[in-house]
A and B are shown apart, each in its own frame.
Chain A
């Protein structure tokens, strides 16, 4: 199982773009990269998922370099409500044995 490493915490201000990088040096060929957001006393919420290059949806972008050993979650123009913990998960979701495994996550605090 690929281990992930993220910064423990980050600070930003409203309106800024926030980039959170996750390192996963031993990512396997079939592994996908998935990011979740968690607010206090709530379950994690899916943000975005990708395999390579760039993926964009209505809330975020995910950049994955060619070697796939890292990935960057980009949140455009954050607001106070984006204050949360962000988790990067890596795993082979094509197989029946996939188990979502969480690392320490990044606590993002958005200031006014």
Chain B
């Protein structure tokens, strides 16, 4: 199946700094990628939909100025957590679909990034 790769797998940063997380579709082009956040023992919560070449669509309650999303190419989307605070510590996951395979293809997920803000 298609491969979606995230980098880094984990990161520790100081409060007030910014952290960038990359999401790459390794063997297909993804016009749309999705970013999720998952707190311990909870489900994945959609943060935003990232569209190549245009602005991301954020879910209600997600601060677009804090969680900057850039989808500059068909294989790369980035999520930047700006001025991170301890409450931003979470597991961040990206997802993408390979539209070239077929209309009902499933979504593939990255391995996730564990962010810890100290």
Contact = CB atoms under 8 A, between A and B. Distances in A.
B46 A93 contact: no
A46 B114 contact: no
Contacts of B109: 36, 43-45
Given A49-B104, A93-B106, A99-B49, A42 B111 contact: yes
Given A34-B106, A43-B6, A45-B109, A102 B43 contact: yes
A101 B43 CA distance: 10
Given A34-B106, A93-B105, A103 B43 contact: yes
Interface residues of B, number: 27
Given A41-B91, A100-B34, A101-B46, A49 B106 contact: yes
Interface in A39-80: 41-46, 49, 51
Interface string B89-118: 001010101010001111111111010000
A100 to B, nearest CB: 4
Contacts, number: 57
B111 A93 contact: no
A8 B105 CA distance: 27
A100 B107 contact: yes
12 contacts: A36-B109, A42-B111, A43-B109, A43-B110, A43-B112, A45-B109, A46-B106, A49-B106, A94-B103, A94-B104, A98-B97, A104-B43
Given A32-B104, A34-B106, A105-B43, 20 more contacts: A41-B91, A43-B93, A43-B95, A45-B109, A46-B106, A93-B97, A93-B104, A94-B103, A98-B97, A98-B107, A99-B34, A99-B46, A100-B34, A102-B36, A102-B43, A102-B44, A102-B45, A102-B46, A103-B43, A104-B43
Interface of B: 1, 4, 6, 32, 34, 36, 43-46, 49, 91, 93, 95, 97, 99, 103-112, 114
